[in-house]
Structure 1
Amino acid sequence: ITPRLIFISYRLRSACRLQRIQGHVMSTKAGSEVLFEKVGNAGVITLNRPKALNALNLTMIRHIYPQLKKWDKDSETDLVIIKGAGDKGFCAGGDIRAITEAGKAGDSLTQDLFREEYILNNTIGTYQKPYVALIDGITMGGGVGLSIHGRFRVATEKTLFAMPETGIGKRQPVFLSPCGFIICLTRQIVSLEKDLVDLKSPSNSDVAQLLDSYQEQMGFLYMFVFVGLLLFCCFRLFSAGSVEEIMENLKKDGSAFALKQTETLAKMSPTSLKLTFRQIQEGARMSLQAVLVMEYRLSQACMRGNDFYEGVRAVLIDKDQSPKWKPSTLSGVSEQAIEECFSSLGERDLKL
């Protein structure tokens, strides 16, 4: 086999690989992965990938964004409801495998998906009409973005709400809306949705009043007490000037809770832990728009680095649960490296 044939074969394999990546993200018929319907005066969005726990991809983002814009201007649409198909999850996050393959191949998906996802999140966060997310079941990553930024979130006893990014070497988004969650029972979701679409020209206070009538009082009391205790523990243990100080606080405390957190954090990417720590510090003083610009810069930094790909390999591909982080220790992560991740991308910065 001549060098030229080897080169041609390599180029063909590379081209096919890129086609598979793009096809994985954009291959379905328009609208099949996310459904839109008008029920009464309500616009209803259904994430329609139940076998993938409704994981969010670029196709879905590119359908949801213009539809939200259209309903926002439509005088006959009074509110928007978003939900997930199936009975297991609202949205289990983004399509990590596709992003990983695209990043390795240098495909523009790693820029396009994050850019358009954050623009969509900003649209949800600034939406003028009532926006209600029914997050029954697993809600992680991209699913958090589709729900937490809206005005109303309805959780159930089945809701699993999480941002597990540091475990795969990615930073963890930090902007949380000040409004809380309404808690109802899964069996009430159908009747709640019916009552929502039956509202006539509802204001935000009308929607809030209806949701409050479904509030599961015992569940709310349990969550209030549990979250209160958890916040007290977290404030005491996690109030520190660095990740290293947090680890030291946890080790000194010695409680079962603290030891469990120490064990969990020790498995995470040191770089991601330091990025997340700084995010939390800076994000607390920022608007949603400023946070999303920061998030986009960090997403691109993670795509340029090692730990995201290594985390995906260890957790999702080889499943050996033994990622080889670079650097492997907190002390090995320089302040210069962290600073570079937060630096402006110039013309490539997110524009909102």
Structure 2
Amino acid sequence: MGEPAGNDVLFERRGHLGVVTLNRPKAVNALTLGMVTAMLEQLTAWAADDAVATVLVRGAGDRGLCAGGDIVAIYQDMVEEAGRAQDFWATEYRLNALIASYPKPYVAFMDGLVLGGGVGVSAHGSLRVVTERTRTGMPETTIGFVPDVGGTLLLSRSPGETGTHAALTGAHLDGADALFLGLADHFVPSGSLPALAEALESATADAAVGRFAQEPPASALEAQRDWIDAGYAGDDAEEIVRRLRAAGGDAAEAAGTIEQKSPTAVKVALASLRRVRDLSLEEALDQEYRVGLRFLAGHDFREGIRAQVVEKDRNPRWRPATLAEVGEADVEAYFESLGERELGLGGVGAGANIFSQSKEPK
């Protein structure tokens, strides 16, 4: 995780377009510390470069933009207790804040898989493009973790309780669902992305994207909003599961999915979404960093990665094993101050932004 980026992320200028290509296709472009450090430095330089009018981020290969952070590297870091994961998150979250406040159009091609950290380098941008191939989401509860990279704030702003549903179940969502949740802005067929990238070299970002954007398909998530809003109301995870189970059908299936996740992660994710509603992105990232370091020191995150990615037995042994065993005090402890280890993005004026202008929330 601490290695330099090398060729794992590529930068080039094409006309007035700065192009960022995440370049680990065999790992679905999973992010490393070297990659996010290089992106932070290059984006900062391009922000002050009058020759660059627009920035584009895309993924190499045909599997997706980015499958998230390199969780195998995070697992190795936990085993070795080396402290690299916290350095990765600190840099990654600064990158997320930079993208959200970027003074130039930031276009993200959210094609194929866009999960976890992939959402962080795309959904904070100003022009977020999905396709018929998009499969996005924040699946962290599956590995005993919680949404981060500003994902708690993004999902807290989704219509009704649909963001809560996405966070707790870790559902993979298509492009239409991403648009409905507020994670994306435009639908462009994947076959048109090369032509769109070429158009961005000379045209304004709005004009180029507008030329290729099409009416998206209907969102299945939007059609399910009635039972989602009813089922996920409130702050009690156990009551939410009971309500969903009693409703039957898709709601009961969602309840079953939630019960397979880490009980601690489910309760902390729910509390994170509720706490973040009135925060800035920088404050939300501070909270996610606080929570993340607590998960690094706990049991379920390491166990979840072991079960899903390392040994792949798909049989995580969560501790505690049930929602009922996770007490309120246990949840509250995840949000306590880190003292001198605080990330502190929300405490620097208007945030970590190095630019004077800040975008309105999407």
Q: For the superposition of Structure 1 and Structure 2, which TM-score range results when normalised by the shorter chain?
A: 0.7 to 0.9
Q: Which residue of 1 aligns with 2:233?
A: 239
Greater CA deviation, 331-340 or 116-125? 331-340
Partner of residue 195 from structure 1, selected from 186, 189, 199: 199
User: Counterparts of 1:42-191 in structure 2 under 5 Å?
Assistant: 42-173=17-148, 174-176=152-154, 180-191=184-195
The verdict on how the C-alpha distance between 1:54 and 1:100 changes in structure 2, with shifts beyond 3 A counting, is same
Q: Which has the larger radius of gyration?
A: 1
- Whichever residue aligns with residue 244 of structure 2, its letter is L
Partner of residue 208 from structure 1, selected from 206, 209, 217: 206
How far does residue 351 in structure 1 lie from its aligned partner after superposition?
Answer: 2.5
Q: Provide the rounded CA distance (Å) in 1 between the counterparts of 2:210 and 2:67.
A: 26
The answer to whether the 8 A contact 1:72-1:128 is kept is yes
In the TM superposition, what whole-angstrom CA distance separates every residue of 1:191-237 from its partner, at most 9, and x where no partner exists? Answer: 111111112xx4xxxx23432332222xx1423xx342133331121
- Whichever residue aligns with residue 146 of structure 2, its letter is R
Find out whether 1:272 has 2:265 as its counterpart: yes
The structure with the largest helix share of the pair is 1
How far does residue 285 in structure 1 lie from its aligned partner after superposition?
Answer: 1.6
CA RMSD of aligned residues (A): 1.5
The verdict on how the C-alpha distance between 1:179 and 1:212 changes in structure 2, with shifts beyond 3 A counting, is farther
- Whichever residue aligns with residue 214 of structure 2, its letter is E
Greater CA deviation, 340-349 or 317-326? 317-326
TM-score by length of 2: 0.84
In the TM superposition, what whole-angstrom CA distance separates every residue of 1:291-332 from its partner, at most 9, and x where no partner exists? Answer: 000000011010010000111111112222111111111111
Q: Which residue of 2 aligns with 1:295?
A: 288
Q: Provide the rounded CA distance (Å) in 1 between the counterparts of 2:103 and 2:298.
A: 38
The answer to whether the 8 A contact 1:44-1:82 is kept is yes
Structure 1 stretches of 4+ with a deviation exceeding 2 A read: 25-28, 177-181, 207-210, 230-233
Q: Which residue of 1 aligns with 2:317?
A: 324
2:307 is paired with a residue of what secondary structure? helix
Q: Provide the rounded CA distance (Å) in 1 between the counterparts of 2:6 and 2:85.
A: 22
2:69 is paired with a residue of what secondary structure? coil
Q: Which residue of 2 aligns with 1:350?
A: 343
Q: Which residue of 2 aligns with 1:248?
A: 242
Aligned length, in residue pairs: 316
How far does residue 110 in structure 1 lie from its aligned partner after superposition?
Answer: 1.8
How far does residue 26 in structure 1 lie from its aligned partner after superposition?
Answer: 4.2
The answer to whether the 8 A contact 1:151-1:179 is kept is no
Identity %, equivalent residues = 37
The answer to whether the 8 A contact 2:235-2:274 is kept is no
The answer to whether the 8 A contact 1:156-1:183 is kept is yes
Q: Which residue of 2 aligns with 1:222?
A: 218
In the TM superposition, what whole-angstrom CA distance separates every residue of 1:139-180 from its partner, at most 9, and x where no partner exists? Answer: 101101000111111111001001110011001231217574
TM-score by length of 1: 0.87
The verdict on how the C-alpha distance between 1:51 and 1:221 changes in structure 2, with shifts beyond 3 A counting, is closer
Question: Please, which runs of 5 or more residues in structure 1 have no aligned partner?
Answer: 1-24
- Whichever residue aligns with residue 196 of structure 1, its letter is L
The answer to whether the 8 A contact 2:9-2:23 is kept is yes
In the TM superposition, what whole-angstrom CA distance separates every residue of 1:48-92 from its partner, at most 9, and x where no partner exists? Answer: 001111000111011110000000011111110000001111001
How far does residue 260 in structure 1 lie from its aligned partner after superposition?
Answer: 1.2
Question: Please, which runs of 5 or more residues in structure 2 have no aligned partner?
Answer: 158-181, 346-362
Q: Provide the rounded CA distance (Å) in 2 between the counterparts of 1:330 and 1:27.
A: 38
The answer to whether the 8 A contact 1:79-1:131 is kept is yes
Q: Provide the rounded CA distance (Å) in 2 between the counterparts of 1:82 and 1:120.
A: 13
The answer to whether the 8 A contact 2:22-2:29 is kept is yes
Q: Provide the rounded CA distance (Å) in 2 between the counterparts of 1:147 and 1:250.
A: 31
The answer to whether the 8 A contact 1:166-1:272 is kept is yes
